[in-house]
Structure 1
Amino acid sequence: MSAPASDDASRRQRWLMALPLVVFAALAAIFWFALGDGDPSRIPSALIGHPAPQTPLPPLDGLASNGAAIPGLDPTVFKGKVSLVNVWASWCVPCRDEAPLLTELGRDSRLQLVGINYKDSTENARRFLGRYGNPFRIVGVDANGRASIEWGVYGVPETFIVGREGTIVYKLVGPVTPDNINTVLRAEIDKALKAGS
């Protein structure tokens, strides 16, 4: 009679050892389905519909356009204009890939492009804009990353659309690409432009 009791105890022990693995797999499946298909650009932002952070940022030293210094970020610039805010860094490889697309968007006179330079050295940031072009009318330096936390940034690059009322209306996690610039970003920009007119 002791053999069946020992088999039951052995089975119970195996089940208890496997239980943490089963619980982990179940939680992983729940998180996977809760976040959609795992596409990080679809991560929702709690800031959508809320005012853009009111954190002023200093300008990037030595950065100029047509002989005039490019200003840092003053949060009052968001009132009355549709703005595209791009968080970037010179060390960010996808930022290099999206640079020509941001330059293309910068030609649209209906909106202003604002750059937030994230945890970068001044020299490297200026060199990056010199090499890949500067689409920004405003460049604020977020040297310690505090402002990016207030914007809810997961990692660079990220792009936000701020409406004329100074409210964040859209967030793109990851780089601007040839696919999402035409299928998503331009449509969201047009929505923001129509909303305030």
Structure 2
Amino acid sequence: MSAPRASRARWLPLAAFGVILALLAAGVWLSRNPDRDALPSPLIGKPAPAFRLPVLGAPDQLVTQDDLRGAPYLLNVWGSWCPGCREEHAVVNAFAGTGRVRVVGFNWKDEPDDATRWLAQFGNPYDLVLADYDGKAAIDWGIYGAPETFLVDGDGTILWKHVGPMTEATIREQLMPHVERLEAL
């Protein structure tokens, strides 16, 4: 009776190794899945959250969500401390240069001097930069990292959200169909 138990005991480490290997393979496969960043947002189709934020460099000038109504805008969440923001910045600059939709910056948890210096160094694609120094407004938007980007229509309804750095492909394949529908209205 002890021989079969000993035989089974020899296979136990191999079986455990096989399970670990399968889990690692599944993790690698999931990390290559292009839909992993397509996180659903409960805000899509709903009004943009209320906020009252200062303009970067003009702390006495406060802007609310109602001030942005009337024309669609792309709200781009960024920070000077954010490597992904630097990665996507040229893409945001290029999109802003098309003039198809105004681009509003949402500077998140940043020091004003750092943010201003960063824009001077890399270019300022934003029509307006809102400053959420303490990160409280970001909570209502469901922001949990930077960069994140939202498309909001002229009535203040959130149409689209992207988590992570935007690429030319993101603009072309995901954002532009929404922009073209807005332009057709």
The TM-score with structure 2 as length reference comes to 0.78
1:52 alignment partner in structure 2: 48
Q: CA deviation at 1:157?
A: 0.2
C-alpha RMSD of the superposition: 3.4
| Structure 1 residue corresponding to 2:105, chosen from 111, 115, 120 | 115
Residues 1:100 and 2:90 aligned together: yes
1:30-53 per-position Cα deviation (integer Å, ceiling 9, x unaligned): xx98xxx47442010000011001
Letter aligned with residue 81 of structure 2: W
| DSSP-derived class of the 1:155 partner | coil
Change (3 A) 1:73 1:106: farther
The TM-score with structure 1 as length reference comes to 0.74
Flag structure 2 segments of 5+ consecutive residues without an equivalent: none
| Structure 2 residue corresponding to 1:73, chosen from 47, 63, 86 | 63
Flag structure 1 segments of 5+ consecutive residues without an equivalent: 64-68
Letter aligned with residue 51 of structure 2: T
1:127-186 per-position Cα deviation (integer Å, ceiling 9, x unaligned): 111011111111111111111111111310000000111000000111111221112122
Is the contact made by 1:83 and 1:113 (CA closer than 8 Å) also made in structure 2? yes
Is the contact made by 1:60 and 1:72 (CA closer than 8 Å) also made in structure 2? no
1:66 alignment partner in structure 2: none
Residues in 1 aligned to 2:98 and 2:72: alpha-carbon distance in whole angstroms: 11
Change (3 A) 1:72 1:183: farther
2:128 alignment partner in structure 1: 138
Count of matched residue positions in the alignment of Structure 1 and Structure 2: 183
- What is the identity percentage for the equivalent residue pairs of Structure 1 and Structure 2? 39
